[in-house]
Amino acid sequence: MVKKTPVFIAILLIGLVCGILIATKLDFTPQGNAEGQKTIEVRKPAGPQGENVFVKVAELVGSSVVSISTEQIHKIPARRFISPFRESPFGEEDFFDRFFKDFFGEMPEQEFKQRGLGSGIIIDKRGYILTNEHVVGEADKITITLPDGREYKGTVKGKDVRSDIAVVKIDANDIPIAKLGDSDTVKIGQWAIAVGNPFGFMVHSPQPTVTVGVISATDRFIGGRLARSRDYSNLIQTDAAINPGNSGGPLVNIKGEVIGINVAIFSTTGGYQGVGFAIPINTAKYIIEQLIEGKEVLYGWLGVNVQEIDQQLADYFNLPDRKGALLAKVLPGSPAEKGGLKEGDIIKTFDGKEVSSLTDLITRVGHTKVGEKVKVKIIRDKKEKILEIKIGKRPEEAEELVEVAATEKAWRGIEVAPITPEIVRKYRLAQHEGIVVVNIKPGSPADEAGIRPGDVIDRINNLPVKDIKDYKEITKKITADALIRTQRGYTVVKPPEEH
């Protein structure tokens, strides 16, 4: 019996080892130990091999992406002969100028051609191509080149500067079209594929270039000199390489659906640096038919200046979150004023849908039909109220978007003065009602709140401030947080800390 024991143990060990090997090979993972733990399964794009998906997208979309070359003729007036002498004091034509005109005749105007390159996407069998307005602009000649090498003359059917969208028409048969997706479903981290013709015809091929990345951000806004009169809000940001010449080309998802129109890059060198932007395709969908029909694109308008709600404003108004938009200004005679909206109101819903951000509100107002009545839920004096606003037509120039000693002792670090002609010149003020901030004490509550010299204060705790007297009367009664409105919007100035 004793001799059999080692043999039995050996058999037992061999069986145990075999069981472990089989379990490992078949990946029999114990479930009890994984309880309460979350795992993230990372998958490659569907297909025998991950890259096959990108190959299919390139084949599917690439055939409908075109190259757009433009030519614009500029005329320069002929140079006159410049006399070393001034014009005759008797008002007569300069002798030398008259001499050269008589001898040589009138000099003809000079012409030079400005050429441009961009991309576009065929969206209709009738030959309609979607691109950026800045690609075609005021071009006198447009040439469209398909990936298969066919060339056509392009005609602008419609364009809209504000959205930077244009539709170009070609007379062609047997052309592939792209499928338009839904940009409202785009999420950060999803695959993004940019297709276009960077650097134009430098590569001497009509075949488009494909670059791959992800959606790195949404709801982006570009202002300043780049935007000019364009509304570059609610943009899609991607790290898929976008370079000069990609403008007007599509940004597509992993299904090959167009989710955006490549429009701009952020760069300190002029080349690709990992940050590109695209106009959401839903923005284009809103106006495509109007452009094809040659109609004027009308945008809805409230007539307000709005600002984001930061955490201090949310705390001041006792809001559960930072969603919504705060009305910093209501323009006189605007649809907002006629509908009962007031400065200081917080818009929470528009046409029955929650307002998630400032750009969300701007986009939805702009896409509302002119003349349509919309219900708007607001918070006023910490109470909810529903108003009905009739949306108006956005005007072309809509407003949406010497040492001076202080005459009043600093309150919470703010030194103010009345608005005088000297003050207007010093600070280049466009607003003349209220009082002006001339100094801010470093480290004070006003400094921490972002108040700056040159700010014009016209409301405190929703009470009008027309002059120094109003300012003194209001501020001496405030012991808690103060809601201050300047020409830059609202901010909360807290009371000084006690030491």
Does 182 have pLDDT greater than 90?
yes
Residue 112, token pair as written in the block: 């030079």
Residues 220 and 309 in one domain: no
Residues 230 and 363 in one domain: no
What digits encode the pLDDT tens for the residues 447-462? 888 888 888 999 999 8
Higher pLDDT, 155 or 219: 155
Question: Structure pTM?
Answer: 0.65
CA distance 489 to 310: 12
Residue where a domain stops, chosen among 393, 423, 439: 393
- Count of domains for the chain: 3
Residue numbers of the domain that contains 246: 51-75+110-297
Residue 174 lies in a domain: yes
Residue 179 lies in a domain: yes
What digits encode the pLDDT tens for the residues 76-131? 655 554 445 444 444 444 555 665 566 655 666 666 677 888 899 999 999 999 99
Using pLDDT thresholds of 50, 70 and 90, give the confidence band for residue 10: low
> Degrees (nearest 5) of the Cα angle 247, 252, 255?
165
Task: List, by residue number, the catalytic residues.
Answer: 134, 164, 247
Residue where a domain stops, chosen among 237, 266, 297: 297
Average the pLDDT over 238-265 and give the result: 90
Residues 58 and 189 in one domain: yes
Four-point Cα dihedral 9, 10, 12, 15, nearest 10: 170
Three-class SS of residue 279? Answer: strand
Residues 341 and 457 in one domain: no
Three-class SS of residue 347? Answer: strand
What digits encode the pLDDT tens for the residues 341-363? 998 899 999 999 999 888 788 88
Lowest mean pLDDT, pick from 209-223, 410-424, 459-473: 410-424
pLDDT for residue 78: 55
Using pLDDT thresholds of 50, 70 and 90, give the confidence band for residue 406: very low
Q: Are strands 489-493 and 482-486 parallel, antiparallel or unpaired?
A: antiparallel
pLDDT for residue 401: 41
Residue 84 lies in a domain: no
Does 261 have pLDDT greater than 90?
yes
Residue 1 lies in a domain: no
